[in-house]
């Protein structure tokens, strides 16, 4: 494997505690306000970062904004303000989103920061000194919206006969002096990487796309522009600014202290464990980025994961159609943790999915209110009412008790396995299977009837259920941190025992609890809505 890269599983089990874990979102382009796609990517990273922290890993979780390029320069000019002031304003919208969505990122990087300019110019010099960057001239089709160049064969035509990129973006013919990166020299090395580490690009369908692209032949990549000025100047030739992708991708290195490879953050967290991206920018991350790193003799990230896109009520999301989903609006409507759960559960991660009002209400009222909410509320209410407001003592466990407790205790490893492959929906499905079993157990054991005939057995049943709720709530903290903290508060569980290492430490009997309150109310639509 190139550059001595460890496989993903070996990597996450190395280092201090259970290992170091570095996860990144793409840096978001600041020519517009955040939408559901931005929230989705960052949420997936947040869930994984929180899971790994609770599982004993040293975690670094990075997000931020991409603030250079022709689109930003044009948007700032249209707004009638300086590009830096424009990016200051729009970048703040993304920073605000992290707070509203309760994201736990450790750093927020902006490509206009001095630390980033330093990292970009250093890696440029390294690539140039090693002979992988040369000066030439570029003539070809360029999409401003995508910040990408396309060949004639990749283009199609719209109804008006205009050439358009595969993404639907308009293209324009560009001719200008340009520095080039010798991407053509890395085709075989990249194919060797994909072959030796099948998990480097996931899911498999995206990996196959990348392999097909590279097998089609790689051309040298234009890495500078002269027709606009808003970017990082090329060292030694400030007539050129760096092409946005060499600039943007380097952010992952900047945030761990590059170019100082003796920096403690760099030593602990590089190479990155997972770069989470949308499928539209997979090529840049799975082809260009490893080629840049190979050329610079830097270790490669462990995984590039490309997730799908959302549609809205079955329609492709488009500003022109007016159906862009504002994450702040749906959080305000349905609740933060409800939206977090829906987005992680509704769609197999990696595939396209549809957002619909009916679907999110179904998840809220079914999975949350009826299943886990009702389980917790009725069990803890019985404990409070019938066990003097204390976690009850338990007797010998029956086969039915052991079956439920065993299924609950097996969840941690199931979630580890699924989350380590970014199969968030599968992990959550396994949790809800156990929640369903717990609700069935309540009905079968009927503790309200046992209260009249066998108080000791009633105490054991309620203990089994309360212990099940404890473990489930601990495991669901990464997805619904606020709601699960409320549930654990109702169990009077101290903060320091809410980590995964305490899952095997059974709940203590005799702990006093307060009268429980509902955590997941049913959503009732207003008439005429």
pTM: 0.92
Domain identity same for 256 and 365 = no
CB environment 386-425: b (16+ within 10 A), e (fewer): bbeeebbebeeeeeebeebbebbeebbebbeebbbbbbbb
Residue 11, pLDDT score:
47
As a residue count, the chain comes to 529
Distances from the Cα of 448 to the Cα of 230, 442, 467, 514, angstroms: 70, 9, 18, 20
Best CA proximity match to 393, nearest among 442, 457, 313 = 457
Residue 527, pLDDT score:
61
Q: Is residue 520 part of a domain?
A: no
Domain identity same for 297 and 401 = no
Q: Is residue 21 part of a domain?
A: yes
Domain identity same for 377 and 285 = no
Domain count, the chain: 2
Of 292, 308, 324, which closes a domain? 308
Instruction: Give me the CATH number covering residue 73.
Output: 3.40.50.620
Domain identity same for 256 and 378 = no
Of 243, 274, 308, which closes a domain? 308
Domain identity same for 277 and 364 = no
Please name the residues in contact with 407: beta carbons below 8 A apart, sequence gap of 6 or more.
433, 434, 437
Kindly write down the DSSP assignment for every residue of 181-229, as one continuous string: E-GGGGHHHHHHHHHH-TTSEESHHHHHHHHHHHHT----EE-EESS--
Instruction: Give me the CATH number covering residue 376.
Output: 1.10.730.10
Q: Is residue 59 part of a domain?
A: yes
Domain identity same for 375 and 300 = no
Residue 17, pLDDT score:
63
Q: Is residue 318 part of a domain?
A: no
Residue 319, pLDDT score:
64
Domain identity same for 151 and 252 = yes
d(Cα 1, Cα 194) in Å, to the nearest integer? 9
Domain identity same for 290 and 369 = no
Q: What is the DSSP letter of 321?
A: T
Q: Is residue 343 part of a domain?
A: no
d(Cα 273, Cα 15) in Å, to the nearest integer? 13
Domain identity same for 271 and 365 = no
| Domain extent at residue 302 | 2-308
Domain identity same for 16 and 111 = yes
Domain identity same for 295 and 375 = no
Residue 504, pLDDT score:
96
Best CA proximity match to 214, nearest among 152, 153, 274, 291 = 291
Domain identity same for 160 and 220 = yes
Q: Is residue 466 part of a domain?
A: yes
Q: Is 444 helix (H, G, I), strand (E, B) or coil?
A: helix
Q: Is residue 228 part of a domain?
A: yes
Q: Is residue 322 part of a domain?
A: no
Ranges under pLDDT 70 in the chain: 1-17, 318-321, 527-529
């Amino acid at each position: 494997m190139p550059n001595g890269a460890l496989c993903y599983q070996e990597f996450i089990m190395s280092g201090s505690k259970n290992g170091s874990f570095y996860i990144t979102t793409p840096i978001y382009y600041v020519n517009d306000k955040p939408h559901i796609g931005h929230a989705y990517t960052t949420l997936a990273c947040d869930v994984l970062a929180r899971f790994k922290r609770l599982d004993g890993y040293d975690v670094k979780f990075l997000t931020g904004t991409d603030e250079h390029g022709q689109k930003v320069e044009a948007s700032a000019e249209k707004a009638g303000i300086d590009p830096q002031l424009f990016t200051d304003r729009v970048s703040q919208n993304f920073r605000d989103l992290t707070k509203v969505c309760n994201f736990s990122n450790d750093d927020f990087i902006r490509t206009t920061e001095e630390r980033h300019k330093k990292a970009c110019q250093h890696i440029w010099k390294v690539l140039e000194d090693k002979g992988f960057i040369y000066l030439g001239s570029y003539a070809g089709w360029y999409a401003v919206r995508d910040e990408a160049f396309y060949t004639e064969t990749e283009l199609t035509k719209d109804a008006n006969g205009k050439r358009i990129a595969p993404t639907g973006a308009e293209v324009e013919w560009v001719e200008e002096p340009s520095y080039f990166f010798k991407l053509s020299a890395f085709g075989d090395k990249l194919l060797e990487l994909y072959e030796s580490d099948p998990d480097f690009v996931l899911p498999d369908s995206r990996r196959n796309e990348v392999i097909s692209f590279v097998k089609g032949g790689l051309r040298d990549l234009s890495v500078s522009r002269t027709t606009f000025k808003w970017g990082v100047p090329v060292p030694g030739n400030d007539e050129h600014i760096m092409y946005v992708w060499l600039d943007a991708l380097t952010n992952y290195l900047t945030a761990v202290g590059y170019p100082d490879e003796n920096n403690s953050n760099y030593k602990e967290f590089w190479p990155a464990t997972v770069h989470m991206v949308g499928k539209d920018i997979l090529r840049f991350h799975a082809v260009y980025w490893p080629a840049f790193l190979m050329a610079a003799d830097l270790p490669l990230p462990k995984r590039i994961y490309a997730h799908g896109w959302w549609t809205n009520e079955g329609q492709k999301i488009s500003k022109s159609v007016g159906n862009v989903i504002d994450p702040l609006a749906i959080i305000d409507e349905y609740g933060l943790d409800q939206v977090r759960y829906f987005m992680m559960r509704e769609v197999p991660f990696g595939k396209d999915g549809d957002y619909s009002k009916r679907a999110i209400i179904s998840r809220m009222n079914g999975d949350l209110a009826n299943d886990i909410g009702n389980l917790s509320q009725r069990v803890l209410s019985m404990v409070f009412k019938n066990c003097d407001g204390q976690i009850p003592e338990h007797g010998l466990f029956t086969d039915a008790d052991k079956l439920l407790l065993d299924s609950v205790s097996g969840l941690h490893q199931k979630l580890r396995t699924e989350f380590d492959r970014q199969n968030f929906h599968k992990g959550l499905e396994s949790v809800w299977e156990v929640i369903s079993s717990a609700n069935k157990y309540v009905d079968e054991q009927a503790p309200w009837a046992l209260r009249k005939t066998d108080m000791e057995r009633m105490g054991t049943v309620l203990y089994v259920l309360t212990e099940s709720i404890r473990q489930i709530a601990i495991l669901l903290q990464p997805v619904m941190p606020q709601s699960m903290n409320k549930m654990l508060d109702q169990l009077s569980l101290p903060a320091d025992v809410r980590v995964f290492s305490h899952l095997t430490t059974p709940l203590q009997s005799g702990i006093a609890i307060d009268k429980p309150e509902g955590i997941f109310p049913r959503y009732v639509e207003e008439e005429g809505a």
